[in-house]
Amino acid sequence: MHVLYEDDGGFKAATVLSETDTSLQVEAASGKRSKIKKSAVIVRFEQPSPEALLKEADAASQELDLEFLWECAPKDDFDIPVLAEEYHGHPPTPVEQAAMLLRVHGAPVYFHRRGKGKYRPAPPDILAAALAALEKKKRQAEQQQAWVDEIKAGTLPEPLARQAETLLFKPDKNTLEWKALDAACTQLQKRPERLLMDLGAFPSAIAIHKRRFYTQQFPRGTGFAPAEVPAITRELPLAEVEAYSVDDITTTEIDDALSVQALDDGRLRVGIHIAAPALAVTRDSDLDALARARMSTVYMPGAKIPMQPDEVIAAFSLDAGRPVPALSLYVVAHPDTGEILSHESRIERIVVRENLRHNTLDDLVSEEQLDDPAAELPYGHVFRPLWRLAKALSRRRDEVRGKPESNNRVDFSFYVDGDPDHPESAHVRIEQRKRNAPLDRLVAEYMILANNLWGGLLSSCGVPGIYRSQQMGRVRMGTAAAPHDSIGVPQYAWCTSPLRRYVDLVNQGQLIAAIEHGVSARLVAPFKPREADLYAVISAFEAKYGAYADFQQAMERFWCLRWIKQQGLRRIEAVVLREDLVRLKDAPFYTRVGTLPELERGRHVLLEVMGDDELDLSLDCRFLDVVDAQGEAEDIEDEPATAEAAVEIAETDAADGPDAGDLRLDDAGAPAPDEGPKPEEGA
């Protein structure tokens, strides 16, 4: 005796070895024995063998007409033998019963299962809908395959081309377009972004890098609607100072300037003047919402995405020759000892005499010229006294830090001539200068001083601010004043870049309250003590700032690869960092060289460029030789794994001056000081 029975949603046939009231012991053709319930048995038969039954039934089931079966089937629940007898017109054989079972069970659209061996025909309306769905699915499968075939032939179907950006950056994986792209990628063994670029959906790799970043960080676009800057109703006195700003040639958001006056007793009165957008961009205003959404200006070679609308920048940037609102810190100090004898803060207007540029001054201003009163020096009446005090201030910080600052790292600047969105026709220049350029150090020292003293002012008035601190090697942002060990100051609040960084804008609003109301400021300041929203600002800022730094680093890697191609470099010099990791000597690009022998840190090597990938931002190099000349000594740091690691590098080395400021990355991957030359904004 043999049986056909249901097992785990399928059907099996076996020989009966023994039987009880509720179960059977059966043996399959393979020899495997099983115990099954009697209720699972559908057909009992003597002939043919179990193996032959299933084979013959499978072949016979394919000849059964489903539509005819559905029409002649009982309208209520039925057993398979009943339908088989109705269909064949005679008591069905075991093979005929098994064939009917396989055919009915395999057509759930026509027949709904009601139990073991029991079925009911689908109602006409439900069957019609199901058949329509199957037909639609069939047409979709055909369309999907047609698109896959087009892609494999080297053509991007128009519906996919129209949705290329969505498919790559915000895909709906249930759509037919995505399924076709995914299937093509699997078959061609390519990532979606590479396949779409190869098919012409994006003009270049940089377009993909940018669009991915914009989709994530600026889903509504990078532009601003026309903005109206509220008029400043308060009367601001005009300061009688001779102030100068010092920035990179491409900087348009000029937010700091310096002035100096020699007093009769040999002391100096230095003015640190910061643009004051917080006078108009007040908490919870429309302009504040725009700045808070962005948190920082985004910099990249050849372009930038400003934090504030052009109208705000135009109203408050410290452009020369016009009175502009400013938050000024006046410090009276001894120029040789760096002792701060007094300081006061004012809200006023200043007229900057001239916007000076590093590009024209750095070659004309050296330490020797600054230290020699008889040497020819442009703007010597300003730079010499400022330099003298800056050196003394730096020495005092060194005493706190317990070691001198190291300022030998190279700073790289990118300039893109032409349209950066069309790199094939653009020309990139990578220029470098040592971080110890005296004008860099001079400006940085006074920004450190302002961030320190203003942080102390907020604390003394009981007004919360946003501080960066470093203690026991741990860097953090918080709302209470705490020492920054690597910089060597008792507190450090970002206050000097309110046009470019939201934290500075928030702190400036708090400072205005402290200057105007003193110890009563805690009651009227925009943010009150222990206010949760201030912590929300910190959290959002750190997330945005890290993402922006990652993007800027990616863009700089892209333009480094373009620079290598543009220069036609097949051999290139690099500096060993550790193991197989090197940094190119003349560009801030890090790469691993698998063939690099074991060499000491800082050794220069010659590499052969084998290839590059602008989508992966990678460079394939082969070691050729060790370069004998060591070149000028410079600080060399390991490549940071992330933007956050880059910030950590900046904050654990006071060579970064005022901490991680602009998003421009230096040769160690760490953000450069916010008081040095501003990031590139394009040529």
In a domain, 318, yes or no: yes
Q: Is residue 195 part of a domain?
A: yes
Q: What is the pLDDT of residue 412?
A: 87
Task: Check whether residue 109 and residue 158 sit in a common domain.
Answer: no
Look at residue 570 and tell me if it is in a domain: no
Residue 60 is assigned to a structural domain of this protein: yes
Residues 141 and 106 in one domain: no
Mean pLDDT, the chain, whole residue set: 88
Q: What is the pLDDT of residues 432-441, one digit of tens each?
A: 876 678 999 9
Q: How confident is the model at residue 650 (pLDDT cuts 50, 70, 90)?
A: very low
* Domain boundary, last residue among 525, 541, 557: 541
Burial pattern 513-547, b for ≥16 Cβ within 10 A else e, equals: bbbeeeeebbeebbbeeeeeebeebbeebbebbbb
Same domain for 169 and 278: no
**Domain assignment present for 517:** yes
Q: Which of 591, 476, 458 is nearest to 515 (CA)?
A: 458
pLDDT at 667: 25
Confidence band (pLDDT; 50, 70, 90) for 636?
low
- Report the pLDDT value the prediction gives residue 154, as an integer from 0 to 100: 94
Q: How many structural domains comprise the chain?
A: 3
Cβ-based burial of 467 (10 A; exposed 0-12, middle 13-18, buried ≥19): buried
Q: Is the pLDDT of residue 648 over 70?
A: no
The residue from 541, 559, 586 where one domain ends is 541
Q: Note whether 412 and 493 are same-domain residues.
A: yes
Residue 357 lies in a domain: yes
Which residues does 154 contact at the CB level (< 8 Å), separation at least 6? 199
CA distance linking residue 599 with residue 601, whole number of Å:
7
Question: Which residues span the domain enclosing 528?
Answer: 243-541
Q: What residues contact residue 213 under an 8 Å CB cut-off, 6+ apart? A: 547, 551
User: Does 148 lie in the same domain as 116?
Assistant: no
Express each pLDDT in 163-173 by its tens digit. Answer: 999 999 999 99
Same domain membership, residue 142 and residue 115: no
Q: Which of 197, 169, 195, 198 has its CA nearest to residue 181? A: 195
In tens, the pLDDT along 441-480 reads: 999 999 999 999 999 999 999 999 999 999 888 889 999 9
Task: List, for residues 654-674, the tens digit of each pLDDT value.
Answer: 323 333 333 332 222 233 333
**Rounded Cα distance, 664 and 216, in Å:** 20
What number is the average pLDDT over the span 638-650?
41
Same domain? 370 vs 487: yes
**Residue 296: beta bridge partners?**
501
Last residue of a domain, one of 95, 122, 149: 122
Could you tell me if 97 and 182 lie in one domain?
no
Structure-token pair, residue 190: 């390519």
% pLDDT > 70, the chain:
91
